[in-house]
Amino acid sequence: MTADFLPATKEEAKARGLSVPDFVYVCGDAYVDHPSFGCAVITRWLDAHGFSVCVLAQPDWKTADAFCEFGRPRLGFLVSSGNIDSMVAHYTVAKRRRTYDYYSPGGKTGLRPDRAVIVYCNRIREAYGDVPIVIGGLEASLRRFAHYDYWTDAVRRSILVDSGADLLSYGMGENSILEIARLLERGVPVKKIRGVRGTVWMAKEGEKLPDRAIMTGDYDRLKEDKAACAAAFKLQYENQDAISGAPLLERYDAKILVQNPPMPPLERAELDKVYSLPYMRAWHPKYDAEGGVPALEEVRFSVTHNRGCFGECNFCALTFHQGRAVRSRSKESILAEVRKITCLPGFKGYIHDIGGPTANFRAPACEKQIKYGVCKNKRCLAPVPCPNLRVDHSEYLDILTEAEKIPGVKKVFVRSGIRFDYLMMDPDDRFFRKLAADHVSGQLKVAPEHCSREVLQTMGKADFRLFLEFEKKFLRFSREAGKEQYLVPYLMSSHPGSRLEDAIELSSFLTARGVCPEQVQDFYPTPGTVSTVMYYTGLDPLTGKKVFVPRTREEKKLQRALLQPQKNGDYLRRALTEAGLSRLIGYGEGKIVPPAKSGRPPRRENGAVPPRQKTGSLTPRERGKRDFSPKKKNGTRAPFSRKKK
């Protein structure tokens, strides 16, 4: 079985008769040969095109010795931190060290360094000097320009500069890395590879720069001038389309960083080829003794059917990495993968997901995108949908329906994010009804994120009233299917634009429903997002307008606690009193947290207990937009999700 994986040890390379590999792929994650892992996709893609690759997963970075496992590769090293940024993998939003690593065997921590790409490149240079090094993956892609770094609270240089690598491949890099490999095979020196789309390189003084190139800024200024930093990001954000994007420049003393325009997204036939490669769909057997790699469990029986997202949430890095141009696989390719899954050990008949970045996107947002690229200064969905937006769930519905018919499949679920505002635009309810009837396992995860109009606009999200309409429809379709189902909302605290009154507004809404959400995320500033630039600069980089930012530890703690008052009673009573908001403590309408004393609520004069609060404490701008969700038979309103006993 081990021989079917790409070589991950010297012995496996020798067994394949491989004395000198073309490439060594260095990865910060454990080696999992599954198409949800970037390492597997790139290595299998190169292998399928005739290049030999050895996988050096989680090498000991403390010396250069581990990087000599396979010797000096014939064409070069490929370096990635893994599926996520190494700093996010290691630290919580509170900057505390995590105690579990989903991408390491047994969840063990400490098997990759902080800033893994930089450290790995330094060790490779120490071992082999001027060997070609190409960096890629999420960490490299999102840090390709000067960027705000939350963990040091400073603007860092491009990771290409700090790592000393020769080239940076950004975005979904199958075709970029293949073109680089072919040029190296032809004998082109790595420092002469300049024209590959989807790559970033460093130009020396006097070197010819691409035509139409746009200078985004000088690092020495960007690290000091927040307005310049926001303006530079806007240019970067507006030029991430393969059709309309221009080459971008960033100055570092006498050198200039050059980003070539993005590589065009893989079209359907190409995507089908990527997902038809002979993945083992398992972790490497060397991890068996440690219980395997936890991250695989979430995707083992799932299928990715699309790439890209035109939803453009400001806190999401998808626009900067995969882009807004949606592409998808053919129905035949998806069903073929489902059939493979039914033959896997441990499969019990349930396809956990047929999804992607946004599950219900299958095609570009409009015809114009195909010919002219995505609009630079216009969004597809928020704050209001573009009139040119095409809405069609028929192909996705057909795929789900056909997947259910495959022998061995009992149920097909949709667990990726559903873009509810897009779904609500569809005049044909067939997909929505079938989703509620057949593809939800009791709870559907959705992402309203907040209820405040101002915060949602800062996030790039739809108005909350649309979510309430979606909820009503989902509950109705669930009842008509004879099912009692609920929505599980993803909510975010402390996002730029969220003032204390906005957090109180959301808390009041939740309290009025008697809901204590399990999913609450404090905003995490990570490279490559509009929201992170807002957090650092206090400016919306796309409009230039000032944005309020909750920065202090106490501000962030209070906003998060307000979303889970049942778990934070003592703290909230103290914090609200200190903030002059003791009016929110007590029982009844407009109260968020009960008084400190335990016991029953105070009785009225006639002995009756005050009724359960029904509307909460709404701010003036939200008055009149109360909860109109369907009532259950006992008269209470249906919550997002049932409380677990």
Residue 424 and residue 413 in contact, taking contact as beta carbons nearer than 8 Å: no
When pLDDT is cut at 50, 70 and 90, the band that residue 168 belongs to is very high
DSSP string, 562-608: HT-GGG-HHHHHHHHHHTT-GGGBSSSTT--B--SS-SPPPP-TTSP
Rg (CA), the chain: 26
Q: Give CA–CA dist 472/51, Å, rounded.
A: 54
Q: Give CA–CA dist 643/226, Å, rounded.
A: 44
Residue from 465, 377, 478 nearest 421 by CA: 465
When pLDDT is cut at 50, 70 and 90, the band that residue 514 belongs to is confident
Q: Give CA–CA dist 85/527, Å, rounded.
A: 9
When pLDDT is cut at 50, 70 and 90, the band that residue 520 belongs to is confident
pLDDT score at 606: 45
Q: Give CA–CA dist 334/399, Å, rounded.
A: 8
- Confidence check: pLDDT of 627 > 80: no
pLDDT score at 137: 97
When pLDDT is cut at 50, 70 and 90, the band that residue 146 belongs to is very high
Mean of the pLDDT values across residues 333-362? 96
Residue 418 and residue 354 in contact, taking contact as beta carbons nearer than 8 Å: no
Residue 518, CB half-sphere, CA atoms under 13 Å: how many? 11
- Confidence check: pLDDT of 630 > 50: no
Instruction: Please count the other Cβ atoms lying within 10 Å of the Cβ belonging to residue 405.
Output: 9
- Confidence check: pLDDT of 441 > 80: yes
When pLDDT is cut at 50, 70 and 90, the band that residue 643 belongs to is very low
pLDDT score at 598: 56
When pLDDT is cut at 50, 70 and 90, the band that residue 596 belongs to is confident
Q: Give CA–CA dist 302/115, Å, rounded.
A: 30
Cα angle, residue 297 at apex, residues 349 and 309 outer, rounded to 5°: 95
Mean of the pLDDT values across residues 388-401? 97
Mean of the pLDDT values across residues 334-359? 96
Please, where are the H alpha helices in 460-595? 464-480, 500-513, 530-537, 553-562, 569-578
- pLDDT, averaged across the chain: 91
Domains and their CATH numbers in the chain: 2-200 (3.40.50.280), 443-645 (3.30.750.200)
Share of the chain above pLDDT 90, in %: 85
pLDDT score at 557: 94
- Confidence check: pLDDT of 216 > 50: yes
Instruction: Please count the other Cβ atoms lying within 10 Å of the Cβ belonging to residue 115.
Output: 22
Cα distances (Å, whole numbers) of residue 438 to 35, 401, 410, 423, 431? 26, 9, 11, 16, 10
Q: Give CA–CA dist 133/119, Å, rounded.
A: 13
What are the tens digits of pLDDT across the range 405-437? Answer: 999 999 999 998 899 999 999 999 999 999 999
Which helix (H) or strand (E) element contains residue 407?
none
pLDDT score at 425: 96
Mark residue 538 as left, alpha or beta (left: phi above 0; alpha: psi -120 to 50; beta: remaining).
left
Mean of the pLDDT values across residues 70-79? 98
Residue type, 417: G
Q: Helix 174-185 vs helix 268-275: angle between axes, to the nearest 10 degrees?
A: 80
pLDDT score at 640: 53
- Confidence check: pLDDT of 642 > 50: no
When pLDDT is cut at 50, 70 and 90, the band that residue 601 belongs to is low
pLDDT score at 625: 36
